[in-house]
Structure 1
Amino acid sequence: ILTVEDSLVAQTMTAAFQRRGVDLRTGISGIERIERAGRDLALVFKQGDELATLEAEAVVMSTGWLGNLSGLNLAAAGVETDGRYVVSDQTGQTSAAHIYAAGDIDGRMMLVQSASHEARIVVENALLGGTDRHEYAIVPHGGFTHPEYASVGLTEEQARRDRDVVVAVVPYADMDRAVIDGRTEGFCKLVVDGETHRMLGAHVVGEQALEIVHVVAAGMAAGMWVEQLAELQIAYPTFTAILGLAARRIVAELGVMPLTPEWRTLGRAPGEWEQSQAQAE
Structure 2
Amino acid sequence: MTFDYDLFVIGGGSGGVRAARVAAATGARVALAEEYRMGGTCVIRGCVPKKLMVFASGYAEMFDDARAYGWDVQEGDFHWPRFRDRLHKELDRLEGIYRRLLEGSDVQIFDARARLKDPHTVVLSTGEELTAKHILVATGGRPVVPEMPGAELGITSNEIFLLDAMPKSILIVGGGYIASEFAGILNGLGVDVTQFYRGAQILRGFDDEARGLVAEGMRAKGVDLHLGTNIIEMRAATDADLRGENMAAPVEEGQPVGVAKGAQTDGIWVKATNGTTRIYDQVLFATGRTPNTEDLGLDAAGVKVGRRGEIIVDEYSQTNVPSVYAIGDVTNRVQLTPVAIREAMAFVETVFKGNPTPVDHDLIPSAVFTQPELGTIGLTEEQARDLEPIEVYCTSFKPMNHAFAGREDRVLMKLVVSRESRKVLGCHIVADHAGEMIQLAGIAVKMGATKEEFDRTVAVHPTMAEELVTMKEPVRTA
TM-score, normalized by length of structure 2?
Answer: 0.47
Q: CA deviation at 1:155?
A: 0.5
Instruction: Determine whether 1:78 maps to 2:279.
Output: no
Contact 2:437 2:465 survives alignment (8 Å):
yes
2:424 corresponds in structure 1 to 199
Distance 1:136 1:45 in 2: 41
With CA pairs under 8 Å and 6+ residues apart, which has the higher RCO, 1 or 2?
A: 2
Report the Cα distance in structure 1 between the residues aligned to 2:271 and 2:414, rounded to whole angstroms: 35
Cα distance change on mapping 1:181 and 1:197 into 2, 3 Å: farther
SS at match of 1:233: coil
Query: Do the aligned residues in 1 keep the contact of 2:317 with 2:347 (CA within 8 Å)?
Result: yes
Report which of the two structures shows the higher radius of gyration computed on alpha carbons. Answer: 2
Percent identity between matched residues is 28
Q: Which residue of 1 aligns with 2:50?
A: none
Q: 2:268, 2:387 → 1: CA distance?
A: 46
- For residues 271 and 311 of structure 2, the distance between their equivalents in structure 1, rounded to whole angstroms, comes to 30
SS in 1 for 2:427: strand
Matches within 5 A, 1:207-222: 207-222=432-447
Asked whether the equivalents of residues 90 and 134 of structure 1 are also in contact (C-alpha less than 8 Å), the reply is yes
- Which runs of no fewer than 5 residues in structure 2 stay unpaired? 1-201, 239-256, 259-265
Q: Quick check: 1:26 aligned with 2:231?
A: no
Matched, 1:142 2:367: yes
Report how far residue 124 of structure 1 moved: 2.0
1:66 alignment partner AA: T
- Kindly state the Cα deviation for residue 131 of structure 1 after the two structures are TM-superposed: 2.8
Q: Which residue of 2 aligns with 1:64?
A: 288
Q: How does 1:1-281 map to 2 (within 5 A)?
A: 1-28=202-229, 35=236, 39=258, 40-42=266-268, 44=270, 47=273, 53-82=277-306, 83-173=308-398, 185-246=410-471, 248-249=472-473
The aligned counterpart of 2:252 is: none
Partner Cα distance (1:123, 1:169) in 2: 42
Change (3 A) 1:89 1:214: same
Structure 2 CA distance for partners of 1:53 and 1:131, relative to 1, 3 Å: farther
How much does 1:152 deviate? Answer: 1.1
**1:45/1:52 contact within 8 Å kept:** yes
Distance 1:109 1:46 in 2: 32
Question: For the structure 1 residues 117 and 43, does the alpha-carbon distance in structure 2 shift closer, same or farther, using more than 3 Å as the test?
Answer: farther
The residue matched to 2:321 in structure 1 has which SS?
A: coil
Deviation at 1:164, TM superposition (A): 0.8
Q: Deviations over 1:101-160 (max 9, x none)?
A: 111111122122222222222222222233323332312223222211121111000001
Structure 1 counterpart of 2:227, one-letter code: T
CA distance, structure 2, for counterparts of residue 119 and residue 182 of structure 1: 47
List gaps (5 residues or longer) in structure 1. 255-281
Range 112-121 or range 153-162, more displaced:
112-121
Report SS of the residue matched to 2:205.
coil
Bigger mean CA deviation after superposition, 68-77 or 160-169: 68-77
Secondary structure, counterpart of 1:115 in structure 2: helix
